Chain A
Amino acid sequence: MELGTAAARLPRLGGPVLEVFARSGLSLLITDPGQPGNPITYVNAGFTEMTGFPPEEAIGRDCRLLEAPDTDPATAAALAAALAEGRPGEFELRHRRRDGRRFWDRVTVVPVPPGFNRPGFAMAILTDITATWEEGAAQVALRSRQEALDKLQERLRAALSASGVMASWDWTIGERRLRGDARFAAVYGLTAEEATSGVPTATFFSIIHPDDQARIRLAVGGILRGAEVFSKEYRIRLPDGTIRWVHARGRRHEAEDETASRFTGTMVDVTEQKRVEERLRIAQTAGGVGTFEYTSGYGTVSVSEQFCQVLGLQPAQDLPLRTINALIHPDDPPLIDPAPPPGAGCIRQVEFRITRPDTGEQRWLTRRGEFLRDIETDDLRFSGVIYDITASKRGEETLRRLNDELEARVAERTADRNRLWRLSAELMLVARFDGTITAANPASAAVLGWTEIELLGRDLFELVHPDEAAATRREFAALADGAPLARFDNRCRRQDGSWRWISWSAAAGEGLINAVGRDITAATEQAEALRQAEEQLRQAQKMEAVGQLTGGIAHDFNNLLTGIIGSLQMLRTRVAQGRLSQVDRYVTAAQGAANRAAALTHRLLAFSRRQTLAPAPTDVNRLIIGMEELVRRTMGPAIRVETALAAELWPTLCDPNQLENALLNLCINARDAMPDGGLVTIATANASLGEAEALQQGMAAGDYVSVAVSDTGTGMSPEVMARAFDPFFTTKPIGQGTGLGLSMIYGFAKQSGGQIRIRSELGCGTTMSIFLPRHATFPTEEEAPMNAEPASRAGQGETVLIVDDEPTVRMLVREVLEELGYHAVEAVDGAAALLVLQSDIRLDLLVTDVGLPGGMNGRQIADAGRALRPGLQALFITGYAEGAALGQGQLEPWMHILHKPFEVEALASKVQQIIRQAEKPKPAASFARGA
């Protein structure tokens, strides 16, 4: 048991060196100075052989086990001390064997320094020198022993050093013996004798790592069966337990007698190399570096996978030299020159182009290689790397080309510029910042009538039209301030005194302005002509539409007038007859007809767009009901008009007049599409658009009100549909179509935050749908003037100023107001009104016409009044709203409008509403929020 422990402990204590000692035949003893009495902890076979003490009898005993009574006590004590203290020393003393026989023992104490995981200790090597001692030749023997020991140690060092050949073997195949040199013995943990005399061939695999066993057994199996070349890398376990990578190379040597064939080889420690290789491989892959090794004279090159990749070849471990060099541009040096190499130690670097076979691309590569002498074979190896340098090469190339070309380009550019200057049809001027012309090109003669010479030294601003001079000076100043470029148009005076529109591009450089001018007079004139033509067309379209409308309603209007006139006549007759009980009937009839006439004119005005345009909460259904009659009349008898109005239709926010206008236009288009008659349907609906649907329709998601006008007419072809919204696109004969109807409706829908869509099929009819965004609330009732509320009495002393040049209107308004309990003050024009406004009488409201004689319009009176009396409210009564006078779009909160003709009740309720609202928030300064 103890032996086993000690034997097991030995490698740990002393490592491979000791093990070799132990097997060397020398007699060996190790003690443990850490324990009391420094007991023996290990003896080897040589010790037992020499002394007769088997390990089990020696281990644990005192180190002085061999001392005899006749041993020199001083020498023995010195030896014990050296062992205990780990001091080197040589002692010769008489020792006793187990059987009692004495012998001369030369004890060499070798200190073993502490190592990893173990303390230092001393080892004693015992040599029987009895013979030499007794024969007196002790010194000679000692020296020879010493030499043997040195040699052994030397061998060990060599064997265990990581570099160089580690071991060589000779395997006799028929005999099944494996022999090796001393290094082989050390690596395999054999004694030198064993290695020389031969061991069973299975020993070969005994130190091979289990994971590599099968592979190497196969390779050796191949050799044993006739293969000639062996070259493998694998792991072995050394006697000290460490794992190393080795590269073993061998050959089968055939003998005449098959059984005498041999397998010889050497192994080299490549552990470090492996590690480096691995690191290198990672680096290579990352860096796109391919490696190769070429042994001079061979047809193939062994290469890395990355090498193949850099060249654009299929991955391989060996490539024919020819294959590699064939990729290289014929003008460039070969990657590997098969010519005899210049000798070892030579480093060569070349750059060359290749054509990648996989992509056909041309790439630049660098190759760096070194010639090395193979120690084993004496071959000259060329080993190196390649990598792609295309990117840097291209940069270089471009730079050089740029440099080369720069001069040529400069010259060319100069010539170009001269050519441009001379031949250009555009005006080219060079001027100082103050406007002095320093150069002009020949085109100036053609454009302005001034020759180059005439322009030299002149002030450019003498030529510029006064209207544009200031703007032009501003551009010049900006250029002087460093603006890179200026573009502006101005008129320049021709030599003949006419003006030319010039569009300039100017840049500053070297204290001068270089300007290129294009004569755009013709273009400008054309644009102006076009604009006018458009304007005329638009007007024509409007007139046409009015014509369409009036044509349809003139008959109605006459009917209504007949009714009014007739009723009034009957009224007069009945009053004259004193038959007053029948009066009321005619008044009602006249009033009804007049109201309908008023509605008609209202629509007409709306259509001719002289209404104040303002988006307002609109009830589309009500609007359609209101215009249904008008549409019906316009469509004529051959066309049926139906409405399909959704119940609970949401309110929407848009300009109701524009919407009416749009619907009328759509109906007119529908009518035109149905020359033989048909059906027009006006339908409304609520529409909630989800994200996807909205996106598809080109609208924002949300709630909309849709108004669709459908007809059963000709329909549109896809081409017509695609262009229908284009301004001036029409398929109708000249004089009938303007092509503006749909484009204006489109504009209206978009401006209202909605959309318009066509659905049409040739021969089946068309549906035009307008989508308008949903609004939170319906219009308030009082905005519907036709349905006025009954009037109530005014508050105490409330006063209204009435301005109108028409006495009947003044009289009427005055009577209505007084009826309601208001004081009324009249003024015929602005001047009279101002007098009242400047006085200190109480004024709660100004009621004024917009168009007035005498220089001041209603709006101006109102403004003056508000200047004198802040917070004053104004009610404009007007036949048609003078848009300009009242301001475009939304009205100010203090401004109110009542359209003539109006009913008396409408006037009364409007006046009361204004005054009541104005009274609510006190003080008067906050009127502005009243409406």
Chain B
Amino acid sequence: MTPRVSPLLNDLERDALTELVNIGVSRAAASLRKMVGGEVLLSVPSLEIIGHRRAAALIQEREGDELVAVRQEFGGAFQGRALLIFPRANGMELVRAVLGEELTPAEAAAMEDEALAETGNVILNSCLATMANMLERSLTMSLPEVLRRGGLSLLQTAEPVEDEGLVLFLYINFSVQNRSIRGYIAMVMDLSSLETLKRLVGEFIDRVMQDDIEA
């Protein structure tokens, strides 16, 4: 099962990026564990770099139109938008897992957006901050925003989309308090940001390769 080859990153670079995100979501899991006071496991089984349209089609095909997303803009060495996307039912699950079972459905519904924004912030922030940290760059992030849309429009929000816009598309598995929740992280970046990212990832690889030689 060889992963599809992205034109932009070579195999090793993609492996490295997957690893970076894995570090990020592991940090996020640790933060979530503290938040919910229970077992949280996050993993990223796969990563793809694809065009907007295909990314949208992918979500649409797998999840249909009932989606909820937390969006944050990021800027710095590389910039773009990061989205944490769930099937709408899964989003609610996550809220319940985070807020606890005692809440009535009404209470849960009232707090849903807030809880989602908070959880999304933890995950996206951990992810991106960790990545930036690992890449030895700084990164700023906007406040989270909750969106409810179909897959197709979700990725094509905001200002007129540059045609060459690509999506770093990650599939993540959550296991929160023994609930299985699935979601996606989509990082929408333009080509120049991706090229910067590629360069930084290259440097990261070099550093990792030095790991034991210092030891």
Contacts and interface: CB of A to CB of B under 8 A. Distances in A.
Interface of A: 176, 200-202, 204-205, 214-215, 217-222, 224-229, 252, 254, 297-300, 302, 304-305, 313-320, 322-323, 326, 357
Given A215-B11, A299-B181, A323-B63, 10 more contacts: A204-B212, A217-B209, A220-B211, A228-B26, A229-B43, A252-B26, A298-B180, A317-B3, A320-B62, A322-B87
B30 interface: yes
Contacts of A318: 45-46, 171, 173
B12 interface: yes
B20 A222 contact: yes
B58 interface: yes
Nearest to B61: A357
- Classify the interface of chain B: helix, strand, loop or mixed: helix
A221 B134 CA distance: 11
Q: Which 4 A-B pairs have the closest CB atoms?
A: A221-B208, A222-B19, A202-B212, A299-B180
B211 A221 contact: yes
A200 B212 contact: yes
Contacts of B4: 315
Contacts of B77: none
Contacts of B19: 218-219, 221-222, 227
B125 interface: no
B128 to A, nearest CB: 14
Given A214-B205, A217-B208, A298-B180, A222 B23 contact: yes
12 contacts: A200-B212, A201-B215, A202-B215, A218-B15, A226-B27, A227-B22, A227-B26, A252-B26, A297-B180, A305-B1, A315-B4, A318-B171
B148 interface: no
B215 A176 contact: yes
B29 to A, nearest CB: 7
B22 A317 contact: no
A784 B88 CA distance: 105
A706 B27 CA distance: 95
A305 B46 CA distance: 14
B168 interface: no
Nearest to B1: A317
A316 B15 contact: no
A318 B20 CA distance: 20
B57 interface: yes
Contacts of A204: 212
A305 B61 CA distance: 16
A319 B61 CA distance: 11
Nearest to A358: B61
B213 interface: yes
Contact of B209 (A176, A214, A228, A302): A214
B46 A316 contact: yes
B144 to A, nearest CB: 22
A219 B22 CA distance: 10
Contact of A319 (B20, B54, B62, B87): B62
Interface in B121-165: 130, 134
B208 A218 contact: yes
Given A217-B211, A221-B208, A228 B41 contact: yes
A214 B62 CA distance: 33
A200 B26 contact: no
A228 B23 CA distance: 7
Nearest to B60: A357
Contact of B213 (A202, A304, A326): A202
Interface in B70-119: 87
A684 to B, nearest CB: 69
Nearest to A315: B4
Nearest to B4: A315
A784 B187 CA distance: 101
B166 to A, nearest CB: 16
B91 to A, nearest CB: 14
Contacts of A299: 173, 180-182
Contacts of A316: 46, 171
Interface string B35-71: 0000001110110000000100110011110000000
A323 B64 CA distance: 9
